[in-house]
Amino acid sequence: MTESDKSREQVLSDLRSAYERGASIRSLVAQTGRSYGSVHSMLRESGTRMRSRGGPNHRRRAS
């Protein structure tokens, strides 16, 4: 089944599952061909609890 054949509910579920397993939004963008904003919006729409920004290499700025 291709991305375009899936129902919207299935796409939302797949994105949420992948994100909750640790996939980044950027990796989901690469997998789906959708924009960053679209993937982010779909994750929010599906009720996904979003992680904080930055990922494992993010460093806080020195004060």
Q: Residue 25: name the closest of 2, 48, 58, 9 by CA.
A: 48
58 has a pLDDT exceeding 80: no
The first and second tokens of residue 34, run together, are 């959708």
Range of the domain at 25: 6-44
- Output the pLDDT for position 54: 75
63 has a pLDDT exceeding 70: no
1 has a pLDDT exceeding 70: no
Q: For residue 12, tell me if it sits in a domain.
A: yes
Q: For residue 11, tell me if it sits in a domain.
A: yes
Give the number of domains in the chain: 1
Q: For residue 59, tell me if it sits in a domain.
A: no
Residues 19-48 have a mean pLDDT of: 96
Q: Is 0.85 topped by the overall pTM?
A: no
2 has a pLDDT exceeding 60: no
